[in-house]
Each structure stands twice: as C-alpha cells, then as structure tokens.
Amino acid sequence: MLTHCTPRSARLVVHVALASASALLPLAAAATAESAQYRASTANSAPNGLAVVIENKPQQNKLNLQALNNPYVSGVALQIHWSDLEPVEGNPDWSKLDQLFAAAESSKKWVQLLIFPGFFSPPWALQGVHTEMFPLQYGPGKGTVAKLPMPWDAVYLNRWFTFVKLLSDRYGASPAFRVIAAAGPTSVSAEYTLPSKREDIPTWLNAGYTPEKYAAAWEKTFRAYAADFPNQYISVSMGFGLDIDERGKIAPRERKETRQEIIDEAMSALGHRFVLQFSNLDGFPGAGPGPRAVGFVIAYNGRVITGLQLRTSCEHNSGNMGAEGNPALALKKSIDIGMQPNAAGQHINYLEIYEPDVLADELQPVLRDGASLFK
C-alpha cells in the first residue's frame, strides 16, 4: 500500500453532458411557470437536485440535449468513452463537450462529466501497457471479452492523466462545470469496480494484483484530479476491491476493506471537494447489496457531498427498477429510497435519472415531486 500506511484506495467516476441551447425542445408536460422554482443556478457551488444522465451515441454527430429543457432538472451528467474523445493521441475531438457546455451554461444547468477509460481506452493508449482479457461486467456489451489495462500500470495512468489535464485546460473555467468523476484505475465505468467473478481471480493473481497496488493507483489519481480541477467537485463512484490480500490469498474481507480505504483516501486528498456517489439505485427495498450500499452513502449525508444515480431507465426497464410494467411507480420507489434521511435527518445532495425517464410525459409528475424534495 502507501509507504506511510494510509488506507488503501481505489475507484472513481467521471460524467459529462453536451448541449446546444438552440437544440433544446420544450417538453409537453413541462410548465414554464415552474422553471424558476426548480432550476438550479450555476452560481450554486455544490451540485444539487435532480440531474439527467445522457449516454453518448458515437454514431451520432451531436448529443440530443432536449432533456436540459426539463424544468425539474438542475444538472446533466454525460457518460462518454475516452476512445470517443481522443481517438488520436494529443488530438481530442471536443465537439460534443463544446456542445454540452454551451447548452448547460445557457440553460443554467450544472455539469458532471463521467468519462470512461479502462476497457474504453483508445488503442494508442494501450501500447506498451500491461493488459489482460476480461469480459465486460455490465452495461452495453456485457460479456464481451476485451483488453483491460491493469489499474496500476504507470504508462497507462500517465497517458490518462495527460488527457485529464487537456480536459481541465479547456473546460475548467466553465461556470457550469460542477463535478468530474475520478477515473483511471477503473474498468467498465467510473465506478471503482473490476471484473471479480470466480473465474477472473486467477487472471488477477497472475497479473500481480494486490490491494496495495490498487490503492496506490487511486491515491495517485486523487492527487492528479485535485491539482487539475481546483474549481470542481470530484466524485468517487463507489465500488469495491477484489477478494485478494497482500499475500495473494483469497480473502473476502478485502472487498469491503478496500472500499473503505479508497473512500478514506479520497476524503484526505480532496477535502471538501469530495463527492461520494453510488450509481446503482433502484426501487427494491430490503437488505440486499443494493439497499445496503445506498444506506452506506446516506450515512455520509452532511459529512460530504453525496449523490445517487439510477441503475437504469425506469421507462425502459421498469421490472429491473422495482415495478414491472409501471415506470412511474418504479421511479417513485427509487426516488423514495434514495431520498431517505440519515439519522441526523440529512438528505443526499443530488439524484441522477436517465434521459428516457426525464423525457417521458407520464413521468413528469414524479419528477416534479422528486425535484421538490431538494428545495
């Protein structure tokens, strides 16, 4: 781990959203008189309220930013791959991010960037890098076997940090740019998760994984983000480590220990700019791993900035979100679980909802009620 015995750390998250003010279309169910009531100004320092998650579609030249016109939405989080932004080393394509920031500044929405390296690093960034083959754990392309750079590989991390610095130089002064997700020692998203099925463990052992290496990579990442983004909050999307201890033995307790050590290291490195996020909220109550993780984040309410992101769209996957065939109920149940107060009566700072839900007319009353909880 760290030479001074700081707790092991790992995992982050990056969001982004793009827009053009002229491309924003009014929503049929959006009452313009309510806009001023729910829309957060970028003059507010901390991210707050409901935010829309937009997924980049590489086959399209522009982002669809219609959701930024929803009066109940205060922010926008863009999910985009590093390989889509910098296919050629040192020559980033900023067109979609330029679109996003222009629209966000015009509509007074705050922006979170969720940029995914790991599996989605451009091919040039993996040259001379230690990689291993793993299946994608979740999301689009789940099960596809692809190259994953080892989270601690210095060549890979330094190339990623060079891109991150370019990103900071271009957008760091934008008044809309509120949050960036820390990433780098990641895999399929900005969450600090790694392929961790039983069949994946031998590959990690042969690659030389240790909790210390993983934590050291995260410490290096937090320090880089703290330096490059002095005007932004930095979100860490909660995950876990692997069931491997320092001696290369199977040790299930290491997962939770690594999770906590990464959070502790992020708090130390980022101070008041640290944001703890969990990106797998749904409408299922109970004692499962999802509800437990939501409760873990809620316990931090008031101590740090906290945020939650829905696992998927209620409009398209209501059964996976807690209410088969009833998207409105699935969304309401999810918001109700996410907005539970902690023992001190404090709530999360923001909640992120996928674009199809924000655009669906039938879900506007649920969004209105959800937005009102943040006033």
State pLDDT tens for residues 161-200: 999 999 999 999 999 999 999 999 999 999 999 999 999 9
Token pair for 229: 């983004």
- The dihedrals phi and psi of 351, each to the nearest 5 degrees, come to -140, 130
Token pair for 162: 């060079």
Residue 34 exposure: Cα atoms within 13 Å on the Cβ side: 19
Query: What is the rounded average pLDDT for all residues in the chain?
Result: 90
Amino acid 339: pLDDT: 97
Residues 15-30: b if buried by 16+ CB within 10 A, e if exposed: bbbbbbeebbeebebb
Cα angle, residue 154 at apex, residues 149 and 160 outer, rounded to 5°: 70
Nearest-10 Cα torsion for 258, 216, 279, 14: 180
More confident residue, 29 or 364: 364
- The dihedrals phi and psi of 191, each to the nearest 5 degrees, come to -75, 145
Bridge partners of residue 181, in order along the sequence: 235
Token pair for 107: 């509509």
- Amino acid at the residue 179: V
Provide the 3-class DSSP secondary structure of residue 97: helix
Spell out the domains of the chain, with CATH numbers in brackets.
21-372 (3.20.20.80)
Residue 107 has pLDDT above 50, yes or no: yes
More confident residue, 258 or 25: 258
Token pair for 211: 């909790």
State pLDDT tens for residues 315-365: 999 999 999 999 999 999 999 999 999 999 999 999 999 999 999 999 999
- Amino acid at the residue 320: N
Residues 324-358: b if buried by 16+ CB within 10 A, e if exposed: eebbbbbbbbbbebbeeebeeeebbbbbbbbbbbb
Q: How far apart are CA 75 and CA 111, in angstroms?
A: 6
State pLDDT tens for residues 202-236: 999 999 999 999 999 999 999 999 999 999 999 99
What is the average per-residue pLDDT within 78-99? 98
Q: How far apart are CA 256 and CA 253, in angstroms?
A: 6
Amino acid 41: pLDDT: 43
Amino acid 325: pLDDT: 98
Residues 266-295: b if buried by 16+ CB within 10 A, e if exposed: bbebbeebbbbbbbbbbbbeeeeebbebbe
**Among residues of the chain, what percentage have pLDDT more than 70?**
88
Token pair for 207: 């690659």
- Per the CB < 8 A criterion, the answer to whether 277 and 308 are in contact is yes
Place of tokens 């316990």: 299
Residue 33 has pLDDT above 60, yes or no: no
Bridge partners of residue 301, in order along the sequence: 304
Q: Quick one: pLDDT band at residue 370, thresholds 50, 70, 90?
A: very high
Amino acid 44: pLDDT: 54
Count other Cβ atoms within 10 Å, centred on residue 140.
8
The contacts found for 37-41 with CB under 8 angstroms, 24 or more apart, are 37/71, 37/375, 38/71, 38/72, 38/73, 38/74, 38/368, 38/371, 38/372, 38/375, 39/71, 39/73, 39/74, 39/107, 39/108, 39/109, 40/74, 40/75, 40/108, 40/109, 40/110, 41/108
State the DSSP code for 117.
Answer: -
Q: Quick one: pLDDT band at residue 12, thresholds 50, 70, 90?
A: very low
State pLDDT tens for residues 117-155: 999 999 999 999 999 999 999 999 999 999 999 999 999
pTM recorded for the entire structure: 0.89
State pLDDT tens for residues 34-74: 443 444 444 458 999 999 999 999 999 999 999 999 999 99
Place of tokens 């989080």: 77
Q: How far apart are CA 266 and CA 85, in angstroms?
A: 26
Asked whether the CA dihedral 184, 190, 191, 195 is positive or negative, the reply is negative
